[in-house]
Structure 1
Amino acid sequence: MTIDAVIFDIGNVLIEWQPERFYDREIGEARRRALFDAVDLHAMNERVDLGHGFQEVIYETAARYPDFAAEIRMWHDRWIELAQPVIPHSVKLLRALRARGVPVFALTNFGVESYAYAQTQFDFLNEFDQEYVSGRMRVTKPDPRIYELVEEQSGVTPQNLLFADDRAANVSAASARGWNVHLFEGPAGWADALVTHDLLSPEEAAA
């Protein structure tokens, strides 16, 4: 089957996204555990991913939890340190596909402002042929609607899409719509999948 476009998730596919690791480093594991037990920071971030104001959501949350206010504000004030490091092999694969003339899209749960900020820090985020950012679309993966919007806006048939994401629920939702999918567990496996689909040669896909 012909693949007409390859779709990359971003968090934990192109850029590592492990906020707990940042907080362990900055405030210690015990304080981090207390913070995450008291405050659902990932639910807070989901609101940002749905298009609500980046600073507004985080600072509102900080105000509701004064015992952890300084730590919560770090999610905004030091956000780029949470979204680190880059996964170099994945970036190489993105660029190898584009060099081959294969259209490459992004489909990511990401806030509007935080994505714009990330684009100033990571040049490869400006290299997609099309960007599907949940904050702009006001819907997040794995809601079926976000995949439907990608199909409508790209004009690519589901069976001709290949999508990589690190979350099984997101992959399953895409597969249910007929997309070709890959559960990302590391760039080497993704490279192998791209070779299997005859999108890259083994040499092009190498780290």
Structure 2
Amino acid sequence: MSDWLDTQLDTHIRVAEDATDLLDDVRAVGAVLIRAFADGGTLYTFGNGGSAADAQHFTGELIGHYKRDRRPLPAVTLTTDATVSTCIANDYAFEDVFSRQVEALVGPGDVVAAFTTSGRSANIVRGLTAARATGATTLLFAGGDGGASLALADHVLLAPSTQTPRIQELHTFLLHALSEMLDAWAAGEEPS
């Protein structure tokens, strides 16, 4: 009989295998981001909890580098300024933490990427709603059915799971795959 750890690994492997259906979507999202960066746009990311960490991870790979020495790519994570986030949460509401920042910073030609396991958090939904109102392209990294955020995304990378750990594990793979594409493009190379 397998123990809990075997079960966790088996579930991870099944989700990863089911994610092969997302590969064309990953390529399409990579092309959208390349076009945005080529045209002078910026990527803005956000999420809650572990998804905020994924949003920051993606931004770090783009501003720093993934594997190659190349120019930094313009990316901002909206959860990294505790002063701004707590000011908005206090003066307005936690649900407005991302939408207020999007309204202040984002414009047409930019891309806004929300990382979420359920797609149901009010601050995620409001952030994507604000992004659409600015004319930005919206991208959703989510799981399950994508929740209310699904209808607000121009491009969706939906993990085939409803389990938070499996969704976040797949989000890490997806952000790394996109980082490889963008890193290679910025260096004038082919992804490897």
| TM-score normalised by length of structure 2 | 0.34
Which structure carries more relative contact order (alpha carbon 8 Å, separation 6+)?
Answer: 1
Give the structure with higher Rg (CA): 1
